[in-house]
Amino acid sequence: MSGEFGADAALDACGDIVRRGDPERFRAAMAVPVPARRVLFPIYAMNVEVARAPWVTAESMIAEMRLQWWRDALKEIADGGQVRRHEVATPLSGVLDRESATELDELVLARRWDIYREPFEDEAAFRRHLDHTAGHLLRAAVRSLGGEAGQAVRDAGFAQGVAAWFRAVPALEAAGRIPLVDGREGAVRALAEEGLERLTAARRAGVAPAARPAMVALWQVEGVLRRAARHPARVKDGTLAPAPVADQLGLMATALSGRW
């Protein structure tokens, strides 16, 4: 890469997109070595661009076109040919393999849910949404760092997806969406407990050392899920976020120890 899309410029551009659009993943990425950041920032930046596409316009057709742009870019990456010049797509093409580009296309498709107001068809559709968004994103990050995106990463992605979704519930409901198939406290508690169980299973299995920087982004997951399991009403109240000081210490401990 050269010129306006040189390596340093690309890293700065992607990092700035993540800083503004996904500050928690930005903090996680800044806590890992620079070589890992060069891999993670383009992936996280693409996720920011895709996630906000349905929300920047009230016109569903325009939102669909924005998502289609990313589907086309990811197809170019998957096909291994020339990729459009873009501050995110260009560096992204240097870190994704074909499998990750194909999975991230499913992530883009999953974001169509945000354009409209229909609820999930059933529990299976909800779980598929979590897998195709949080799950595919984590697998792409792990794979791009040289790790194997197997069952452990799938379990971790589910836990991360549930935790993030719980925290998004108040904003989604305020926007007129129906984010939970079953919002009763018992169902919320059961989902949080399942997330904790799968997080524990993922930790037992572990990931390759090279892929650990991708897992730093999970530093809040256990705490969020434990709070949701103990007090499910906090999901709707929007009070699952950790205290700032404890949160910073937790991030530092995760980044330094590699234990996520």
| Both structure tokens of 135 | 């799950």
pLDDT on residue 214? 98
Give pTM, 2 decimals: 0.95
Query: Using one digit for the tens of pLDDT, what is the confidence trace for 66-84?
Result: 999 999 999 999 999 899 9
Per-residue pLDDT, 2: 38
Residue 29 pLDDT grade (very low, low, confident, very high; cuts 50, 70, 90): very high
CA dist 207 and 202 (Å) reads 8
For the purposes of burial, counting CB atoms within 10 Å of the CB of 32, is it exposed (0-12), middle (13-18) or buried (19 or more)?
buried
Question: What percent of the chain has a predicted confidence (pLDDT) above 70?
Answer: 98
Q: What is the 3-state secondary structure (H, E, C) of the chain?
A: CCHHHCHHHHHHHHHHHHHHHCHHHHHHHHCCCHHHHHHHHHHHHHHHHHHHHHHCCCCHHHHHHHHHHHHHHHHHHHHCCCCCCCCCHHHHHCCCCHHHHHHHHHHHHHHHHHCCCCCCCCHHHHHHHHHHHHHHHHHHHHHHCCCCCCHHHHHHHHHHHHHHHHHHHHHHHHCCCCCCCCCCHHHHHHHHHHHHHHHHHHHHHCCCHHHHHHHHHHCCHHHHHHHHHHCCHHHHHCCCCCCHHHHHHHHHHHHHHCCC
Q: What is the chain's length? A: 260
User: In this predicted structure, what is the pLDDT of residue 5?
Assistant: 59
The average confidence (pLDDT) of the chain is 96
Does residue 4 carry a pLDDT above 80? no
Q: Are 167 and 227 in contact (CB under 8 A)?
A: no
Q: How far apart are CA 210 and CA 229, in angstroms?
A: 32
10: pLDDT strictly greater than 90: no
**83-99 per-position pLDDT tens digit:** 999 999 999 999 999 99
pLDDT in tens, 194-251: 999 999 999 999 999 999 999 999 999 999 999 999 999 999 999 999 999 999 999 9
Q: Write down the pLDDT at residue 165.
A: 98
